Structure 1
Amino acid sequence: MLFALICKDKPGALNVRMETRPKHVEFINGLIADRKLAFAGPFLDAEGKSIGSLVMIEAAGQAEAEAVAASDPYARAGLFDSVEVLPWTWVFNKPADA
């Protein structure tokens, strides 16, 4: 089942994001290696600066998805002001259908 991890950064925390980014990229690469990542990327403000993240993962259920969200180095560094973990269904333009 797919889950959307919708993460919004704390205001003024861009430095935390940049300092933690190498560990976050390593974490994301681990999700790719484990075939758990569907797609991911940052939310941007009007100036093109990162203000959050959208990470779409495969997980067996809500508890597993929440555990993945909590293990993200960004979350562990205290970057996020909020994190929503929501089940999601890919209906249109699935890569498998392309």
Structure 2
Amino acid sequence: MLFAVICADKPGHLNLRMETRPPHVEWLNGLNAAGQLKIAGPFLDADGKPCGSMLLIVADDIEAAKALAAQDPYAKAGLFETVEIKPYNWVFNNPEA
């Protein structure tokens, strides 16, 4: 099942994001290799700087999705002000459809 993980950074935490980016990317590469990552990327503010994240992940259920999202180095570093996880139905332009 697919889940959208929508994260908003705490204001003024761009430095933490940039410092934590290498382990975050390594974690995403691991999810991708395991087939658990479909889409990932940052939200951008008005100045074009990262201010949040959106992931589309594969998990068995919402609890597994929450557990997976909690492993994100950004989450562990305390970067996110909010994290919302929702079941997702990829209808258009899904390469697996």
Could you say whether these structures have the same fold, taking a TM-score greater than 0.5 normalized by the shorter chain as the test? yes
TM-superposed deviation, 1:33: 0.8
Gaps of 5+ in 2: none
CA RMSD of aligned residues (A): 0.7
In structure 1, list runs of 5 or more residues that go unmatched: none
The CA distance in 2 between the partners of 1:94 and 1:32, in whole Å, is 16
Match of 1:59 in 2: 59
- Find runs of 4+ consecutive structure 1 residues off by over 4 angstroms: none
CA offsets 1:58-97 (integer angstroms, 9 cap, x no match): 0000011000111100000000000001000011111134
Alignment match, 1:29: 29
The alignment's TM-score, normalised by the length of structure 1, stands at: 0.97
Query: C-alpha distance in 2, partners of 1:96/1:21?
Result: 29
What residue number does 1:95 align with?
95
Size of the aligned set, in residue pairs, is 97
In the TM superposition, 1:1-98 aligns within 5 A as 1-97=1-97
Query: Aligned letter for 2:85?
Result: V
Q: What is the distance in 2 between the residues matched to 1:38 and 1:88?
A: 12
TM-score normalized by the length of structure 2: 0.98
